[in-house]
Amino acid sequence: MIQQTGYSKKVMEHFMNPRNVGVIDDPDGYGKVGNPVCGDLMEIFIKVGDEKIEDIKFRTFGCGAAIATSSMITEMARGKSLEEAMRITRNDVADALDGLPPQKMHCSNLAADALHAAINDYLSKKQKH
């Protein structure tokens, strides 16, 4: 892994022009995670059809890296099957952004965790029906 001190162009692009920002009313799945140390808070909302993520939105309170990773994970997960989306790892998010500075890696952890939480929420609601 490349030791990085600044942000890549991709991180800056997703921070300055984040994709899929917002809330889905009545989502099929909802995930919320936070990091009490840095104060970042991330929410992901998903709509599922045919066991695929048809729509995905996020709301993030945090640093530029947290916003960029939230934006990137929504791009990575859209259109994927739930199984494929569950396989997106923390490192996948960082790699897709051409890396993150070591002190910001926890931000990519939040993005993957929020996505997985939203999928697990959907699956647990589905089991109850």
Instruction: Report, as residue numbers or ranges, the catalytic residues.
Output: 38, 107
Q: Are 47 and 24 in contact (CB under 8 A)?
A: yes
In DSSP terms, which residues pair with 21 in a beta bridge? 58
Q: Are 58 and 70 in contact (CB under 8 A)?
A: yes
Token digits of residue 8: 């890549």
Binding residues for [2Fe-2S] cluster: 35, 38, 40, 63, 104, 107
Binding residues: 35, 38, 40, 63, 104, 107
Torsion region of 48: left, alpha or beta (phi above 0 gives left; psi -120 to 50 gives alpha): beta
